Structure 1
Amino acid sequence: MAKETYQSLQAQIRKLQEKAETVRLKQRQPIVASILRSMQEYSITLDELKAAQAKGVSGRKRSVGTAKPAAKAPARQVAPKYRHPETGETWTGRGKPPRWLVAAEGAGATRDQFLIAQ
């Protein structure tokens, strides 16, 4: 096997990069055609696309450099508002009511009876 030189490797890299670019351009053609069909079907204008891109609606934002997206703030803890007197189970009053509260209400109790004094 012949000894490879730096120059020969660089030449191979250039050829592969050119080939990769050619393949990438060929693969883009059907995507562009699909986008144009969708634009026609939904009467989307270039101005609408530009406005959506400016707002970041595209689903993917471009970032400059290597900046990482900001982390979400941790969910704020909410104090419980209702407590079951026998089991001590609690509920914040947000979301779907727990089964114990639904059952108690079905038996004639009111939510006010389970309020935690604050």
Structure 2
Amino acid sequence: MTRDNYAALQLKIEKEITRLQKQAKALQAKQRNPIIASIIQSMREYDISPDELAAALAKKPAAARRKAENNAEPPQARRTVPPKYRHPDTGDTWTGRGKAPRWLADALAQGKTRDDFLINK
């Protein structure tokens, strides 16, 4: 493709884009006008002033407020959990959360129970 053909094609496409953008704006204006008229009619019917409308628009919706409030709180630090099980020989401990440590799994395989390793019986 020669440079002249490319430039001509690009110009043609840009003109088409401009035409379609104008068409989209016209369509949007055509759809907006009845809605604006409906809003004005409702404002008159319910005696709503433009100031009241502006104040209502300035407020965040409840869902957005809740989300902002939730995000505003700093994340809470994880609290440490005291150990629940202790190996009698090595002193290794386990809180009882997550995957059981190898020393406990081996002891369970030998027929012992978790109760045998409880710290506070």
Q: TM-score range with shorter-chain normalisation?
A: 0.3 to 0.5
**TM-score, length of structure 2 as denominator length:** 0.44
